[in-house]
């Protein structure tokens, strides 16, 4: 009972923070995902240290430099949106990212006891796996491309919060429905070597229900904000690539021999546990939005 109460309170707090950050304004949206990137990167590095002990021997310059580079990349994607005193946050981010990514190999050669291109590869992979997708989510929020007819009723320019919010909602629906369907009728294991509790029935059921819910709601009520076929398109991305993201993180945790990527959210694990699906789905949603919506 205590565990259930803890999970419920944490979930309500988590939802409140997410909705507040996403819906308040552009700055709150950026700060929300900036913090997610900061903590998720650290959890990724912790996973890598569990998988390969050699990564534990990297220098402090390497360890903190990669973290700063990841934060700088998040700042860089904001471009000219947050500016003051003649310089924007995006310009500062570009300079910082360039400096740290350029100097990271040099610092590793000079300061590390055992220089290895493999450890640099692990770090760059972390930026690709965690920071790049979250940066694309921020870019979707701040993008000032052509406004789709009808969107002016919700946002005044670009995509606004709508596409990131829908993507997150569809991922949540897919995960929830997959769990419910799997609990009720799940019999056939789906990648048992990676995620023993996940079943084919639950996975397919979650995808079908998420896409169906998106199509029905988009057709009858959501078309005034976004043409209803795009609701289905985003739901397909959330279901397919979100599931792939969940399996990918489960694989990393299995290699590391741990259950959760972190413990910052009682009863729900860490940031990677909560956003693993979004990390893989976000790049495909960004591509879809740029090609078919704008």
* Average pLDDT score over the chain: 86
Predicted confidence band at 219 (pLDDT cuts at 50, 70, 90)? very high
Cα dihedral 97, 100, 101, 106 in deg (nearest 10): 170
What digits encode the pLDDT tens for the residues 222-277?
988 899 999 999 999 999 999 999 999 999 999 999 888 877 766 667 899 999 99
Percent of the chain with pLDDT over 70: 89
Q: State how beta strands 87-88 and 83-84 pair.
A: antiparallel
pLDDT of residue 278: 97
Q: What is the pLDDT of residue 253?
A: 93
* Per-residue confidence band for 190, with pLDDT thresholds at 50, 70 and 90: confident
> pLDDT at residue 157 above 70?
no
Q: What is the pLDDT of residue 159?
A: 58
DSSP label at residue 147: P
Write 198-202 long-range contacts (CB < 8 A, 24+): 198/247, 202/178
- Domain spans, the chain: 1-142, 147-294
- What's the confidence (pLDDT) of residue 1? 53
* Global pTM exceeds 0.85: yes
Please give the pLDDT value at position 100. 81
18-40 per-position pLDDT tens digit: 999 999 999 999 999 999 999 99
Model confidence at 149, in pLDDT bands (50, 70, 90)? very low
Q: What is the pLDDT of residue 144?
A: 59
């Amino acid at each position: 009972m205590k565990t259930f109460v803890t999970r419920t309170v944490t979930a309500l707090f988590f939802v409140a923070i997410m909705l507040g950050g996403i819906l308040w304004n552009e700055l709150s949206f950026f700060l929300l995902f900036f913090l997610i990137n900061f903590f998720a990167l650290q959890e990724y590095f912790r996973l890598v240290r569990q998988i390969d002990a050699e990564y534990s021997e990297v220098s402090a310059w390497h360890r903190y430099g990669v973290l700063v580079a990841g934060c700088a990349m998040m700042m860089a994607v904001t471009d000219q949106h947050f500016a003051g005193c003649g310089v924007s946050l995006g310009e500062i981010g570009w300079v910082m990212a360039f400096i740290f990514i350029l100097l990271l190999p040099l610092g590793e050669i000079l300061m590390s006891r055992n220089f290895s291109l493999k450890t640099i590869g692990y770090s760059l992979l972390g930026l690709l796996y965690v920071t790049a997708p979250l940066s694309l989510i921020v870019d979707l929020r701040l993008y000032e491309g052509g406004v789709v007819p009808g969107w002016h009723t919700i946002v005044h320019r670009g995509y606004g919060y709508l596409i990131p919010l829908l993507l997150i909602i569809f991922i949540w629906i897919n995960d929830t429905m997959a769990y419910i369907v799997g609990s009720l009728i799940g019999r056939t294991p789906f990648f048992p070597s990676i995620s023993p509790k996940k079943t084919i029935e639950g996975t397919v059921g979650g995808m079908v229900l998420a896409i169906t819910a998106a199509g029905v709601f988009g057709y009858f009520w959501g078309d005034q904000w976004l043409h209803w076929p795009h609701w289905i398109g985003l739901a397909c991305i959330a279901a397919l690539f979100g599931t792939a993201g969940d399996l990918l993180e489960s694989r990393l945790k299995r290699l590391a021999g741990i259950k959760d990527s972190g413990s910052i959210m009682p009863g729900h694990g860490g940031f990677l546990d909560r956003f693993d699906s979004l990390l893989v789905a976000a790049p495909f949603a960004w591509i879809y939005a740029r090609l078919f919506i704008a």
